[in-house]
Structure 1
């Protein structure tokens, strides 16, 4: 649990060391990251070639790993927090302790780059996008999710969300939230035609999950589902080589 003896600024990376014991608790303060990891992994198709590489930027404790099992990727996780990386390694992730703006991997090495709940935590998300696109091989897939830079997002993600037991208090700095249109334009600048959709947790299941948690019980976790608006939480996916023949949103488990 967090160190009660110190108060950290919003979005301070030291929070992740204080919360190291929470990563793999299904009812802990990182619970929503588990739900998002499952949704993000559903956008990753099975590997199309031997030795396919998935680079997981801001991998934390490797929550994506169980949802990639059987898809055929070598899973490399990049993060700044050593306490999280130790846990990621225990879950089969090849870990790299590095900044997401300067990853010590070769250009064009990755079949997939995942950047889940990362961009809204970095000082310069454009540099992370540039690095993610650099890592992609031709035809490689970028998948991400982040928080939009809107008043509604700040209200729901910070003022309400951080009062729920699924999000740590102070984990977000709303000044870093990522405008969806600017993100799409930046990806296009680097050769990735990013498409977006809004997502949210299933409200009825969240309420049920909270009620069970209050009783000390653990049940089926809520799922992340598509929604009509990208104003709060949204996913993006796109390939480094543009494909103008498909414009639809992928069904779960498939990618254009």
Structure 2
């Protein structure tokens, strides 16, 4: 199977909600994304979760008052997202099957490093976002250090399944900021990293980890978050 083949997620479907499983780090990142999303503030507000996978964001935004729409290419993930309060929509993030300006918040968590057409994906995320709406994302930087950590070492030590990432698709903050700017969104980025204690408990002790597990850091060289508002 080639690198970045989305069929891998069908094979890994049982891992989505395993608290100390292969996707534990994705749970941590989902919680960190949710911390950047404010409460809806009014009924009827919509959150679009692009590339939602098994719906890991759901428990972290359940009490914020949004209608949570999850779009994903793989039905195996959507089947797990739906029982957790996600309105599941089968679709591609490069052509979201949603109306323009239909979302108050658009979330793209750990998906941008997997897309083969970044400009089309960013354009779609911005197309469905209402004027003044919020975009929240995280992804992997296009650096030698990120390739070493997230591919070479992560695959060797079981942090990431083999072949999950294609480093040729990793995206730098400079490029991502420019793509969003073309679509009317001023993106602000910051580096993040997993806590060392959390990594030890997960990788060495194979334990589920509670509490804050993703921390801001000065460097965007490996992982980074981004937020921005659509100027309309």
TM range (shorter): over 0.9
For residue 218 of structure 1, report the CA deviation from its aligned partner. 3.8
The equivalent of 2:7 in structure 1 is: 14
For structure 2, the 5+ residue unaligned runs are: none
What is the TM-score normalised by the length of structure 2? Answer: 0.96
2:225 aligned with 1:235, yes or no? yes
Alignment match of 1:202 (pick from 187, 190, 195): 195
Q: Tell me the SS of whatever aligns to 1:133.
A: helix
For residue 162 of structure 1, report the CA deviation from its aligned partner. 2.0
8 A Cα contact 2:15 2:22, kept in partner: yes
2:75 aligned with 1:85, yes or no? no
The change in CA–CA distance for 1:70 and 1:172 in structure 2 (over 3 A counts) is same
Aligned counterparts, 1:25-64, within 5 A: 25-64=18-57
Q: Tell me the SS of whatever aligns to 1:103.
A: coil
2:98 aligned with 1:100, yes or no? no
Q: State the alpha-carbon separation in 2 of the partners of residues 142 and 198 from structure 1.
A: 17
For residue 172 of structure 1, report the CA deviation from its aligned partner. 0.2
Q: State the alpha-carbon separation in 1 of the partners of residues 209 and 146 from structure 2.
A: 28
For residue 219 of structure 1, report the CA deviation from its aligned partner. 4.5
For structure 1, the 5+ residue unaligned runs are: 1-7, 243-256
8 A Cα contact 2:177 2:188, kept in partner: yes
Q: State the alpha-carbon separation in 2 of the partners of residues 166 and 93 from structure 1.
A: 27
Runs of 4+ in 1 over 4 A off after TM superposition: none
> In terms of mean alpha carbon deviation, does 158-167 or 145-154 score higher?
158-167
Q: Tell me the SS of whatever aligns to 1:144.
A: strand
2:101 aligned with 1:111, yes or no? no
Alignment match of 2:63 (pick from 66, 70, 78): 70
Deviations 1:74-96 (A, max 9, x none): 00000000011011001110011
8 A Cα contact 2:198 2:209, kept in partner: no
Structure 1 vs Structure 2 CA RMSD: 1.3
Q: State the alpha-carbon separation in 2 of the partners of residues 117 and 21 from structure 1.
A: 19
Deviations 1:19-43 (A, max 9, x none): 0111000111111000000000000
